[in-house]
Amino acid sequence: MRRLGIVVPLALLAALLVPPAHADPGPKKVPTRQGYDGAVTSVDPYASRIGLRVLRAGGNAVDAAVATAAALGVTEPFSAGIGGGGYFVYYDAETGKVHTIDGRETAPAAMPHDAFIDPETGEPYNFTPELVTSGVSVGVPGTLATWQRALDRWGTLSLGQSLERAERLARQGFRVDETFRGQVEQNLVRFRAFTSSRQLYGRLPKVGSLFRNPDLAETYDLIADHGPRRFYDGRLAREMVQAVRTPPTTTSTKLPVPEGFLAMKDLRGYRTIDRAPTHVEYRGLDVYGMAPSSSGGSTVGEALNILENHDLAAATPEQALHLYLEASALSFADRGAYVGDPAFVDVPLETLLSDEYAAERDAQIDPEQALPKPVGAGDIPDTENVETTNLTVADKWGNVVEYTLTIEQTGGSGIVVPGRGFLLNNELTDFSAEYDEADPNRIEPGKRPRSSMAPTIVLQDGKPFLAVGSPGGSTIITTVLQVLLNRIDLGMTLPEAIRAPRATQRNTAAVLGESRFVARYGDALAAYGHDVQTYEDIFTGTDEIGAATAIEFGPDGLLTVTAEPRRRGGGSATVVRPAR
């Protein structure tokens, strides 16, 4: 219809969302499955089903991961999509090596140090609404380049083949669930601020209605036919630049929308980076994660090294959680002081992940009393929200993918590229708002803002034992860390480790916990001196921390595939050959 120049009235669009009485309700969400020969788990049943079909058709873990991610761009468009970026972690069964791809967004080359300062007041823009809903927060997207790089290195399908099922899903539609509707409702004011976003997401869809995105289907079809170069150059690229530099605001919106700095040369020059993974040994296991520009691997790794100085298996749950919170605070202090884009910051990664440094940091912990927060960073000689999505894939050959991707806040920048069906990120809000030369996360042209994404693969004797990741802004780090603690140290099964109530300590005065966590452990941890508050009291509207997916690799090829049973509406675990 777009190609024919037809304008579809909103009333007709509304009619398209009404389901027939006999409509297929869509695939069911099952949070845990066991089986063999490969598996896919994500937050969405349509996406997991598409990835599973790729595996069953003979594709490998990378093929299925890209297909699943492309489908999440359809059904989870407010958390992921080709307008964003992410980090791809891959275990190669043939070589026994873990590899990573940094597909993080970058700041435009013309972005000044004071980009987040309001020129009229001389003060930093408010995070909400100015920075969150803006062109100035849009970074150069890296997701599509990540997919192409992963397929080139390890896949068996072309990018076009990997996009086929997602393109069909966007064209034919999917059933709206409570989560999708809630995310539209949460962002209605922002979506109605832009002509393009209002057309696609400007009204609340009914739960159970069929939601189609033909513009995104056409975009996927274009990329399938011509490759990523059509995204990073040519007409589509020019349209992204136009949307960032002159946002398509409506005449009725009262939201301030600062313009951005994206240019064609930024898109043409974007490259993913192959990075060596972070690595620590923990309880005889090898834990691999994402190196800077993400802080996930270094912060999780440092906290694990600190915790290894304690016999958590012999501790009470409250004692173990006290130590977990203290290790989190210490590692977050170092994250803020030392971790940034290594192209601009000399990150002392080897020291941060050393046992010697962990012992120095652990010496500050009192097993009976919480440290006053915030704590200071460690002494290292000179040498740096909230939504995202995650998927975990394994194939019958033993290859594993842990992939976290995002467009930053729920709804990203709020800007749908006109006629293209996808939202642009607001990832540059991860930079520090005010420029400080001592800040490793200061704004610099071409720089990648510090991320908290922590896709993690754990090996035992050189073979996969566990793969886990989560969305959740900076709580990603504590979510992954707590799942590892639950599974490795506290004797929980993988489904129990993911289902357990969560708390996060990011070197702040208060520990923020889900209401179930506060009810169960709040008083006991208060006796240690922790100020435990309910997460929802601080972040109104959600009581959830993270939304993890994971696969555990058991004896005789048995896979335990797990997603959230409740958080974010529950996830979807699938397996190629179910166990009896």
Residues annotated as catalytic are 388
Helix axes of 61-75 and 159-172: crossing angle, nearest 10 degrees? 30
301, amino acid identity: G
Q: What is the dihedral of CA 40, 46, 51, 52, to 10 degrees?
A: 70
- Could you tell me the CA-to-CA distances from 39 to 49, 57, 59, 476, 555 in Å, in that order? 10, 13, 12, 22, 16
Name 264's Cβ contacts closer than 8 Å, sequence gap at least 6: 233, 237, 238, 241
The two structure tokens encoding residue 9: 């009235």
The number of residues in the chain equals 580
Number of neighbouring beta carbons within 10 Å of residue 418: 18
For residues 231 and 144, is the Cβ–Cβ distance under 8 A?
yes
Number of neighbouring beta carbons within 10 Å of residue 570: 19
366, amino acid identity: D
Q: How far apart are CA 533 and CA 531, in angstroms?
A: 6
The two structure tokens encoding residue 95: 């070589």
Q: How far apart are CA 341 and CA 361, in angstroms?
A: 24
Q: How far apart are CA 77 and CA 310, in angstroms?
A: 42
Q: How far apart are CA 524 and CA 268, in angstroms?
A: 55
Count of alpha carbons within 13 angstroms of residue 148, beta-carbon side: 19
DSSP line for 500-566? S--EE-SSSSSEEE-HHHHHHHHHHHHTTT--EEEHHHHSTT-------EEEEE-GGG-EEEEE-SS
CA nearest to 565, candidates 499, 501, 503, 494: 499
For residues 571 and 29, is the Cβ–Cβ distance under 8 A?
yes
Burial of 230 per CB tally in 10 Å (0-12, 13-18, 19+):
middle
Q: How far apart are CA 389 and CA 567, in angstroms?
A: 12
Three-class DSSP category at 177: coil
DSSP line for 401-436? EEEEEE-SSTTTTS-BPTTT--BPP-GGGGS-SS--
